[in-house]
Amino acid sequence: MSTSSALPLAGRVVIEFGHSVAAPFAGQILGDLGAEVIKVEKPEGDDARKWGPPFVDGAAATFQALNRNKKSVVCQLRDPDDRARLLALIDARADVVIQNLRPGQADALGLGAQALLARKPSLVYCNLGAFGATGPLKDKPGYDPLMQAFGGIMSMVGEEGWPAVRVGPSIIDMGTGMWAVIGIVSALLRRTSTGAGGVVDVSLFETAGSWMTMFAAQYFASGEVPRKTGSGQVGIVPYRAYRTADGELVVAAGNDKLFASFCAVLGHPEWAADPRFATNPDRVHHAAALYALIEAGMAQRTSADWNAALDAAGVPCAPVQDVQQMLEHPQTQALGLAQRVPGASIPLMGLPVSFDGQRPQPASASPALGAHTQEVLGTRVTA
């Protein structure tokens, strides 16, 4: 896969009416997979261009992380002439349109799914909404932290008795972008046999709800609302982080055999035979007592010492690393997960997927605002 022609979506053209995170992340994935992605921006640009500091190469680092392998076109969507040029571009070249404008805005501009599919039935059109395509909240806007709250995720993050905590990464926005790509690629695959495009709907709330899959099943099965467990996992004990002499280490002893091995490393093989801890359900019922015993032992040695001993015993474990430690780790380096990007001053995280042993390589850095307006639309549009 040394050239873009070998990438799975080479030859496909995507028009992105995207701002902030969800739609731009979807567009970037499609671009990394070989599609030509044309990002349509308002004259002042995607809001994410200003989401800093830090700034690098003329825009916020956050923007740079979400918009490589794209062309930028400035367009006044409310201007009839600009809109006509854009529609002509879609008619002539587009395979996919993705949009996360405010609810109802695309339809009001004549750029919604119904209008564009009437013009071009082979088009795959993807809406990235907030609350979904139907229901009482369908016209309400939303953002990642709101959906982490509304979707139940914040109720499960942090320690019991403490205020709600947001998951740091934008898992709702980025997850919605991933679901958009899954839907788009599926619709393109269907189009190869039917010739017809269609509408893909994804939303931040549906993504948040899907992340709650296991917790929802636990509630349906027990009638009990799951509780916060810090670094642990509902229904599995011991399965969490422990303070060591110099940091924190997560140990995932998820079955009886691993638990017995963990106990042996801790120097207390008798714990595995204790009736309170003999099976996973027993350990869940007596989690507080077991965790108190483990915590006292783990605090006696360094994370590196425990990591080596647990690895030797075949017990899954991992230190809690910060961003720098993760990026500098030999495993990250060996995978080439952080990639150099032509035209960019900093490396960026690549796609977490490889084809025939090769990770797709970025072709270009994020575009300057409007850098491709003349190339794509034939004229430079001004405010």
Map out the domains of the chain as residue ranges.
4-211+336-377, 239-243+248-319
Distances, alpha carbon 3 to alpha carbons 7, 128, 234, 306, in Å: 7, 30, 46, 45
Question: In the prediction, which pLDDT does 234 show?
Answer: 86
The mean per-residue pLDDT over the stretch 370-374 comes to: 95
Burial class of 140 by CB neighbour count within 10 A (0 to 12, 13 to 18, 19+): middle
Question: In the prediction, which pLDDT does 1 show?
Answer: 46
Buried b / exposed e over 4-38, threshold 16 CB at 10 Å, is beebebeebbbbbbbbbbbbbbbbbbbbbbbbbbb
The mean per-residue pLDDT over the stretch 248-270 comes to: 97
> Is 383 a residue whose pLDDT tops 50?
no
The mean per-residue pLDDT over the stretch 350-362 comes to: 94
Under the banding of pLDDT at 50, 70 and 90, the label for residue 378 is: confident
How much is the pTM? 0.92
pLDDT, tens digit, 9 for 90 and up, residues 50-74: 999 999 999 999 999 999 999 999 9
d(CA 233, CA 31): 36
Question: In the prediction, which pLDDT does 379 show?
Answer: 60
Residue 268: CB partners within 8 Å, gap ≥ 6?
A: 293, 297
Question: In the prediction, which pLDDT does 382 show?
Answer: 46
Strand 70-74 vs strand 59-60: parallel, antiparallel, or unpaired? unpaired
Question: In the prediction, which pLDDT does 237 show?
Answer: 95
pLDDT, tens digit, 9 for 90 and up, residues 300-329: 999 999 999 999 999 999 999 999 999 999
Q: Are 126 and 184 in contact (CB under 8 A)?
A: yes
Catalytic residue among 173, 282, 305, 356: 173
Is 256 a known active-site residue? no
The CATH fold assigned to 4-211+336-377 is Rossmann fold (3.40.50)
d(CA 148, CA 158): 13
The mean per-residue pLDDT over the stretch 361-377 comes to: 95
> Is 380 a residue whose pLDDT tops 70?
no
* Ordered strands of the 317-319 beta sheet: 239-243, 248-252, 317-319
Provide the angle, in degrees to the nearest 10, between the axes of the packed helices 303-313 and 256-266: 130
CATH (one of 3.30.1540.10, 3.40.1010.10, 3.50.50.60, 3.40.50.920) for 239-243+248-319: 3.30.1540.10
Is residue 117 helix, strand or coil? helix
The mean per-residue pLDDT over the stretch 24-52 comes to: 97
> Is 104 a residue whose pLDDT tops 70?
yes
